[in-house]
Amino acid sequence: MAVKKIQKKLFGTNGVRGIAGKEITPELTLSIGKALGTMRPGKIAVGRDTRTTGFVLANALKAGLLATGCEVIDCGVLPTPALQYIVKEHYDGGAMITASHNPPEYNGVKIIEPDGTEMGDEETIRLEELLADRSSEVKPWDQVGTEIAAPHLIDEYVQAIVGQFEGKPGHGMTVVVDPGSGPACQTTPAILQALGCRVLTINGIMDGTFPGRLPEPSPEGLEGLAAMVTANNAAFGVAHDGDADRAVFIDDKGNYIEENHEFALITRHICITKKGVVVTPVSTSQIVELVAEAAGCTVHYTPVGSIYVARTMRELLNSGKKVIFGGEGNGGLIFPDHQFCRDGGMTAAAMVSLLAATRQNLSALIEQLPTRYMIKEKLATPHGSQLIKRLEKHYVGESTDHTDGLKIKRSTSWALIRASGTEPLVRIMVDSDGQESGQAMFNEIQKSALDILAALT
């Protein structure tokens, strides 16, 4: 069972993205709307994050859908996973105007399939072909589409998450939420309140200029959140990226939790009560596999990108496997009982449930996890794919994996070397049980790579 990566032209791993007005123009989203309307005629839900360019781009996209005869359901501002949930429950497809974690000047489009997952590679290539040949048919006056506003549907998403949990697991728990002025201002505080938490917020007013922090929830950007957590004796702080499909955490002592540790902690919690497969990309720290296997579960690895995780989860389920959890080592986690996409609001709710069940502080739980160290570096080179081929030959005697790039697996550490699809660089990651052993492996791989590149040029 292997979901393969195919190179697309315009769309990347998470939709099309770029600087609004320059790369992502109203003309482009109009064309995407027409192409999508031609490919998926029917009822299409449209949403956007809080970016200032969201109105412009969403209106152009809706015009394209309407011109090709679609019925547009405008869900307004909402998290990407909320739109995915709404599409899964009610509609024939969706389009989300968002640039996720990118800076405020960026924007983009993610296309949602009827099952709520992001559009896969083969379908996206078909959409790109429709865009390129401009063959989308604009309907005559009596066949154009209609539009309705449905801002209330966001409540269904909130209720769906709350319904995953019994009672009020957050009773007596203070939690600080940093939605980063993004769409989760409308959802995560409401979800946690419904679970019984006392909720405080920072950057809790929707604002596309992002006055408090950038949409990427970095440790530096979350210093304000960390200070609020400790000042209020909160159980934890949770922050989202610009479209709230990811959630990252601050523990009760004000420390930023590395996202692989977050993933491992929730994996361990799920694996205690359910037995089955956890799905994640080859780039995720082995810490997840260690806790899953210790609890009697297994890990299935995919290419890098949440869409490959989501599709593999579905394929494994369809083949009769029990799939209990999935996600990436960046705070993007997938709870298959809820839906097959990363969901930041669901992740925040899962943390409340985990803390209620364990009755321990988050900082103590993190300390109990196995120790792993990760090094992530970039190597600038236009010869990425050639370099990886030569490295494959160089390490031919070792245990390797070719799911995405080259993974070299040793007893207590691994290295992953991948060429970027969009930039002239190669990414090198090393994950190890010791800082020194990890650094030694990284130095060795880097030296091999530099020697090969010197011989190439």
Catalytic sites, residue numbers: 100
Stretch that binds Mg ion, among 33-41, 242-250, 271-279, 416-424 (CB under 5 A): 242-250
Residue closer to Mg ion (CB basis): 106 or 325:
106
Tokens of 28: 């482009």
Window contacting Mg ion (CB under 5 A); options: 221-229, 233-241, 262-270, 298-306 = 233-241
Distances (CA, A) of 134 to 11, 99, 125, 233: 17, 25, 14, 57
> What is the rounded distance in angstroms from the CA atom of residue 265 to the CA atom of residue 278?
13
- Cβ(201)–Cβ(178) below 8 Å: yes
245 binds Mg ion (CB under 5 A): yes
Give whichever of 241 and 289 is closer to Mg ion, judged by the CB atom.
241
Look-up: residue for tokens 């969403």?
58
Question: How far apart are the C-alpha atoms of 83 and 345, rounded to whole Å?
Answer: 13
3-state helix, strand, coil in the chain (%, to 5): 40, 25, 40
Site for Mg ion in 416-445 (CB under 5 A): none
* b/e 222-255 (16+ beta carbons within 10 angstroms → b): bebbbebbbeeebbbbbbbbbbbbbbbbbbbebb
Looking at the Cβ atoms of 118 and 243, the one nearer to Mg ion is 243
Residue in 49, 113, 243, 328 binding Mg ion, rule: CB under 5 A: 243
Give SS3 for 330: coil
The first and second tokens of residue 353, run together, are: 């449930």
119-155 per-residue burial string, b: 16 or more CB within 10 A, e: under 16: bbbeebbebbebbeeeebeeeeeeeebeeeebeebbe
Q: How far is the CB of 14 from Mg ion (least distance, A)?
A: 7
> Is the CB of 100 or the CB of 124 nearer to Mg ion?
100
Return the bridge partners of 176, or none: 200, 237
Q: Which is nearer to Mg ion, 187 or 413 (CB)?
A: 187
Q: Would you count residue 241 as binding Mg ion (CB under 5 A)?
A: yes
Contact between 216 and 101 (Cβ < 8 Å):
yes
The least distance separating Mg ion from the CB of residue 246, rounded to whole angstroms, comes to 5
Q: How far is the CB of 49 from Mg ion (least distance, A)?
A: 9
Work out which of 25, 84, 100, 124 binds Mg ion, going by CB under 5 A. Answer: 100
- From residue 23, alpha-carbon distances to 27, 29, 109, 134, 254 in Å are 10, 11, 12, 18, 39
Q: Given the rule CB under 5 A, which of 99-107, 120-128, 319-327, 352-360 is the region that contacts Mg ion?
A: 99-107
Count of CB atoms situated within 10 Å of the CB of 20: 23
In the complex with Mg ion, the residue whose CB is nearer, 280 or 286, is 280
Q: Which of residues 134-163 bind Mg ion (CB under 5 A)?
A: none
Angle between helices 435-456 and 384-394 (to 10 degrees): 120
343 is an interface residue for Mg ion by CB under 5 A: no
Which 17-76 positions form the footprint of Mg ion (CB under 5 A)? none
Q: How far is the CB of 137 from Mg ion (least distance, A)?
A: 33
* In the complex, least distance from residue 241 CB atom to Mg ion, rounded to whole angstroms: 4
Minimum CB separation of residue 279 from Mg ion in Å reads 19
Our CB check for Mg ion shows the closer of 104 and 145 to be 104
Chain residue whose CB lies nearest Mg ion: 100
In the complex, least distance from residue 20 CB atom to Mg ion, rounded to whole angstroms: 16
Strands 43-48 and 333-334, by their bridges, are unpaired
Q: Give the binding range for Mg ion (CB under 5 A) out of 141-149, 177-185, 235-243, 359-367.
A: 235-243
Chain residues binding Mg ion by CB under 5 A are 100, 241, 243, 245
